[in-house]
Structure formats: C-alpha cells, structure tokens
C-alpha cells in the first residue's frame, strides 16, 4: 500500500485495488498552561501557531505605517517574545503559519470599500501605492513591504498564507491548510490585535477551531482601550489568553 495525502498527518494508503481511509493516529500531547480567564489544557499534536502581519509595512521604521505618522514601536513589541517562542514551537513540531497581507499587483482582489479604509481621501498612500521612501508598493505580495520583518525571518518549514482582508480566512486557503493538517487548536500572535488578529481569531472560532491568544506576542498601534476591549471580548466570547513564557515552559519544561 502506498501513502497518499497532502501531509503526513492526513494520508490514506492505496493500491490498484484497495484504499485504506484510516488516517495515521496522532498521539495526544497534553499541554497544561496558566491562562485567563481560567487554566487550559490542549493537545499540542493538533495545534498550530498563527502569526499575523508581522510585516515591514506594519513593524519596520521605514514601512508604510511609519511613513504616515504612526508610532510603530508598539507593533515591534511582539518581536522579542516571538523570537524566544518560535524555536520552542518548531522544536515541538507545531506548525507555524504566517498569515500576511499580500495583495495582487493589479489590486483586483481589493474592493473600493477596502481601498477607502486606507486611503480615505484618494490622494494618500494606500494599498498597492509606492512608499515615498522606498518605492515599495504597500502590502503587495512579493514586495519588501509585505515581507516579514528580518528579526522574525520564517523558517523554510513554516507555512505562508497571503490575505487581503482583515480576516485571514476570507478568500484564502487557510482553512483548507489547517484541516489538512488535522488541526483543532489555534494559538494567535501578531498585529494589529484589535483588527486583523481579532478578526482572524473570531472567524477561526466561528469555524469550530479552539482559539487562544498569546497575549505578549500580540499588539496594536491603536489606543490602549482597543487592546483592553479586545482582550475582554476574547475572554467573554472566543476563548483564552496566555503568556509566551508560560506556554514555552509548559511545552518544554
């Protein structure tokens, strides 16, 4: 019998005259960790780590947000804890998925309403427009603007998904990828917490995934009350929040 499937986690075994539809058993790997509003335990074997929008245009001092006067230092705050946590997750075999803005050069996957959000006057620098300092097109797939910041350069084993909405699930292969990996639990990180992180986390929860935010690995450039309201909503509606040192200790004590 020959294995056939999109990943080692999700394979049949087939021959010319038979097919075995039983997937490989995934040995449970229980992780018990301090969290809010209560302690949680989950199966690391069915968990993926989603990092959202840690890109030059949001986090680099020469990127798009900085060019329009936004203080990007809050968006850079997750870099240090992510640098420490990512090797622990990779070492434990947890898939790392980078979900980033990556619009088409012709902008045919962007609606007028979405373009208006980032260029309300029509005269500013919005999605796909060239940055004055670097000439890189804002959040265009394959550009410097859309790259993950150098400090967090993805590993070749990591998975990349381009999005062009606040949510990483709309019109992307993210859901299919996670289900082909037989994932049930999602850990979230990235920026902006109250925008793309929250909307992706909410859609994941609505789709039936268990959702947890790694709080110190997520941030927003918006006022503090936006952060606080997002954490409140996660606790009340979507799941749990935890801290990366507690997670790392639980995974690799």
Residues classed as catalytic: 53, 163, 196
Helical segments of the chain, H only:
56-59, 64-67, 73-76, 79-91, 112-118, 174-180, 198-206, 224-233, 244-251
Q: Which residues contact 140 (CB under 8 A, 6 or more apart)?
A: 102, 103, 104, 105, 127, 128, 146
Task: Give the distance, in angstroms, between the CA of residue 38 and the centroid of all CA atoms in the same chain.
Answer: 23
Output the six-digit token pair for 90.
């990779």
Output the six-digit token pair for 21.
């539809």
What is the DSSP pairing of strand 185-190 with strand 159-163? unpaired
Three-state SS at 64:
helix
């Amino acid at each position: 019998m020959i294995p056939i499937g999109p990943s080692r986690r999700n394979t049949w075994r087939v021959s010319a005259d038979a097919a075995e539809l039983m997937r490989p058993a995934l040995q449970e790997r229980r992780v018990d960790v301090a969290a809010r509003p209560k302690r949680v335990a989950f199966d690391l074997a069915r968990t993926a780590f989603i990092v959202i929008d840690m890109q030059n245009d949001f986090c680099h001092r020469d990127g798009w947000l900085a060019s329009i006067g936004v203080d990007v230092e809050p968006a850079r705050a997750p870099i240090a804890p992510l640098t420490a946590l990512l090797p622990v997750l990779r070492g434990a075999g947890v898939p790392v998925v980078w979900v980033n803005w990556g619009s088409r050069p012709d902008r045919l996957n962007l609606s007028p309403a979405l373009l208006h959000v980032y260029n309300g006057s029509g005269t500013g620098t919005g999605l796909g427009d060239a940055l004055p300092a670097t000439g890189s097109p804002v959040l265009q797939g394959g550009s410097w603007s859309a790259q993950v910041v150098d400090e967090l350069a993805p590993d070749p084993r990591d998975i990349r998904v381009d999005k062009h909405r606040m949510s990483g699930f709309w019109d992307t292969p993210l859901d299919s990828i996670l289900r082909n990996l037989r994932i049930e639990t999602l850990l979230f990180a990235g920026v902006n917490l109250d925008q793309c992180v929250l909307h992706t986390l909410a859609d994941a929860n609505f789709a039936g995934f268990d959702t947890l935010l790694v709080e110190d690995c997520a941030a927003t450039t918006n006022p503090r009350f936006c952060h606080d309201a997002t954490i409140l909503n996660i606790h009340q509606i979507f799941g749990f929040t935890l801290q990366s040192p507690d997670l790392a200790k639980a995974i690799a004590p």
